[in-house]
Chains A and B, each alone.
Chain A
Amino acid sequence: MERQKRKNPVLRTRLPTLPPAARSRVALGLTAAAALGRFELQQCRDCGTVQYPPREACQKCLSTNLAWQKQSAEGEILAETTLEHSNDLFFRERLPWRLGLVKLDCGPTVVAHLHAAAKQKVRVRAMLDRAGQAVIAALPQQETSDMADDRQLREFTCDPKHRKILVTDGKTALGQALIKELVSHQPEIVWVGHAEPWKKFAGFEEIRTLPQVTLVPLDVTDSKNVREVAAEIAGKVDIVVNNAEVHRSFGIANRPGVESARAEMDVNYFGLLRLAQEFGPAMRSRGADGRSSAVAWVNLLSIYALANFPPHGTFSASKAAAHSLAQCLRAEMRPAGVRVVNVFPGPIDDEWNQLLPPPKLAPAALARAIAGALRDGIEDVYPGDVAQEWLARWRDNPKALERELSA
């Protein structure tokens, strides 16, 4: 894929449109799975029939005892077409558009978006489209190095390639791992925020010398500073990765006063709010700005945002607040097709989690998970074994998890 030429700023920017977003409630099961990067179809708990499109009852035995279950994604193209005409604005602007009728090994025949290199035997994925709703895309069976460059696939993903990225905090171990990881995905530019720019931090020199990196003084607790940085770069940023956080241990009784909790909220919650207010509007206006449009907003949350972990009680509360705000941001960014990606890691292997037993998530692994989620178009990321286990427990029984975490 060629990098996009610099745009004439006088010319009109294409306004964002969305593909058809209406779905029945039962069809949102596909969206729920796609948000996690999973391919699930409805399966009858009584007779085992796999069916698609989603229904309210099993088409074989009429049972209403249906579950969304992981299915084999292998299939074969039965027929294909290339649309040269569409009745919808979003697709009209993106014609021609390749579609296929794919017979899945697990049973159903599905209509799917076809990757340009998909031939005969394919692997399907449930992916979120720009409207935030799941669609099925058929990809080549074997992964190729330039697979993510596909023009159609790029409409479903948030690939960092050729995009301009802001990482809000370059000082932490995770921030530095993120920068190195993102740089390996051929971004156009990576702006790296660092609060208190008069202090050199560990790793500063290494990051500064990366050709893609530009350091910007950025303190998310300082409204004026955030506004100034946004005035300079918000109209160019395609991906925001907000990894700035404050993490203190202890809950309520073991720490007097509210100062630590307030500091956590000021960065973890109000920091997100400040950034969203200053960067959000400009990004919304660039949701369809060519092949390298504004595309994603990543929030570093925590698995503790789902259920409070009392030993890190105030931190959990600040992340729960940020999670709630991120849902609001997601709704506000959706009309522009800009995806809000929430990342829910378990304990990161850093100084604030010193007393927690392994497994802990290495910053580099978390950085890889975040870049992978952007490339694959995933919306909710639960990286690592701890996060996956907590997610499974939470989905199974939230009350049980509350008891387990407070034990």
Chain B
Amino acid sequence: MLAAPVTVPYVRYSIRSAHWWLARAFSEVLKKSNLEKDAVDGLTVSSFTLAPDTAIGLTQHLGLSPRWLDHVPLGGASAVVALRRAARAVQAGDADIVACIGGDTNHVDSFRLTLANFSQFARDAVYPYGAGGPNASFAFLTAYYMRRHGAKREDFGKLCVAQRANALKFPLALFKKPLTLQEYLSARPIAEPLHLFDCVMPCAGAEGFLVLSESKAKSLKLPYARLLGTIERHNAFAADPVQMRAGWAIDRDELYRQAGAEPKDMDFVQTYDDYPVITLMQLEDLGFCGKGEGPAFVRRHSFTHDGSFPLNTSGGQLSVGQAGAGGGFLGMVEAIRQLTGEAAGRQVKKAKLGLVSGFGMINYDRGLGSGAAILGTAKT
């Protein structure tokens, strides 16, 4: 079961270190669940800027003594993978209550430094090429997708505009102004065909949630969501010259089989949305439409929380901000809120089932990690 979804309010720049943000996420989780520190006996940590520390350093930093610990540095795939590991630990009895936290700080110059040293391949074979960071890599994928599948900028724009509308109902989103399609289209180019509103804004922030057994959640009187199915796959389709699909395409049947559900049963979807083209890739690979049918799917649906296909209902990273590895948690935390009825003005009506997708680590020319989870309400 998943409970106690928290978001530490994001800021564009922070003078604090990652430890501060992760400490805040952890203490918010405790506050929300009314638990003492020592009651949490399992911990997963996801962060880029925690270096030179890893999860184990954080235990001493925060005075914790968990009997189960995992460091999950998988960027946008972190939350799904952390959930999978934590759920198995709880299932096996290795821990009773696991806190999964993810977040990063963002100093004025830390994004550049993260890019320059993101991975060996990035340092050797991407960063010396204009130092555009992920913008350049995703510009390639977007350009290729547009040419191959006939997507227009308007299609990506429709997603961005809808997500902004969702974000206006999420008080913690960093973007507070409505976005029109015209503004989207006329924004300055960053790396053709990407323009300003196609790119996430790096920021500081943290997210967290608890994983625990149903009996524990009930005895603690915590509202909870249920994990119904989940998959994970890394470096899938390595021989594809350009990334147009990822691990979901291999494992999605298994995902729906576990959950006993089909794509059409999902009441909302939280994709990993660092760039809108990646949302289309996920919708295709997760079976909401066929490969290359993303543009038609977008034209057919509306994506606000009250639309025909509620998507990234808190605004996604594109409108909330990308808090490093916290970005991988944003959709998960929002899904728990939706399924425990905490989503306030952006609540998807009668939401029973939701799908959360994670995608992370542009190591060289593509994202390596993919994962997904189907969550349901306590009653499912």
Contact = CB atoms under 8 A, between A and B. Distances in A.
Interface of A: 19-24, 27, 52-54, 59, 78-88, 90-91, 97, 99-101, 103, 109-113, 129, 131, 133, 135
Interface in B113-170: 115-117, 120-121, 123-133, 135-137, 139-141, 143-144, 147
Contact of B188 (A19, A81, A84): A84
Contact of A111 (B129, B147, B188): B129
B190 interface: yes
A126 to B, nearest CB: 12
Contacts of A103: 241
18 contacts: A19-B131, A20-B116, A20-B123, A53-B124, A81-B194, A83-B135, A83-B136, A83-B191, A84-B191, A84-B192, A85-B191, A86-B131, A87-B115, A88-B131, A91-B131, A99-B132, A111-B136, A111-B140
Given A99-B136, A101-B365, A91 B144 contact: no
A109 B241 contact: yes
Interface in B93-119: 111-112, 115-117
A83 B147 CA distance: 19
Which of A79, A88, A103 has the most B CB atoms < 10 Å from its CB? Answer: A79
Given A24-B120, A53-B124, A109-B242, A81 B129 contact: no
Nearest to B235: A59
Interface in B269-298: none
A343 B296 CA distance: 60
Nearest to B119: A53
A83 B132 contact: yes
Contacts of B135: 83, 85
Contacts of B193: 81
Interface of B: 111-112, 115-117, 120-121, 123-133, 135-137, 139-141, 143-144, 147, 188-194, 238, 241-242, 364-365
Contact of A22 (B123, B130, B191): B123
B6 to A, nearest CB: 31
Given A22-B116, A24-B124, A87-B112, A79 B141 contact: yes
Contacts of A83: 130, 132, 135-136, 190-191
B68 to A, nearest CB: 32
A79 B143 contact: yes
A87 B129 contact: no
A54 B139 CA distance: 23
A22 B128 CA distance: 8
A129 B125 CA distance: 13
Contact of B242 (A23, A54, A79, A81): A79
Given A79-B140, A85-B132, A112-B129, 14 more contacts: A21-B128, A81-B143, A81-B191, A81-B194, A84-B190, A85-B191, A86-B131, A91-B131, A97-B130, A101-B365, A109-B242, A129-B128, A131-B128, A135-B129
A59 to B, nearest CB: 8
A316 B242 CA distance: 52
A133 B125 CA distance: 11
A19 B191 contact: no
Contacts of B130: 83, 86, 88, 91, 97, 99, 113
Contacts of A113: 129-130
Contacts of A91: 130-132
Given A86-B130, A88-B112, A91-B130, A81 B125 contact: no
A99 B125 contact: no
A183 B297 CA distance: 62
Contacts of B128: 19-21, 23, 129, 131, 133, 135
Which of A24, A101, A112, A131 has the most B CB atoms < 10 Å from its CB? Answer: A101
A20 B131 contact: yes
B132 A101 contact: no
Which of A23, A78, A87, A109 has the most B CB atoms < 10 Å from its CB? Answer: A87
Nearest to B199: A85
A101 B141 CA distance: 9
A77 to B, nearest CB: 10
Contact of B123 (A24, A78, A100): A24
Contacts of A85: 132, 135, 190-191
A23 B133 CA distance: 16
Given A22-B123, A85-B132, A113-B129, A78 B191 contact: no
A27 B364 CA distance: 14
Contacts of A99: 129-130, 132, 136, 140
Contacts of A97: 130
Given A23-B123, A53-B121, A83-B135, A78 B190 contact: no
Nearest to B127: A20
A54 B194 CA distance: 29
A82 B191 contact: yes
A97 B129 CA distance: 9
Given A20-B131, A79-B140, A87-B131, A53 B125 contact: yes
A87 B132 contact: yes
B245 to A, nearest CB: 15
A82 B139 CA distance: 9
Which of B116, B120, B242 has the most A CB atoms < 10 Å from its CB? Answer: B120
Contact of B124 (A27, A59, A87, A129): A27
A109 B365 contact: yes
Going nearest first, the 6 A-B pairs with the smallest beta carbon separation are A88-B131, A81-B139, A27-B124, A53-B125, A79-B140, A79-B144
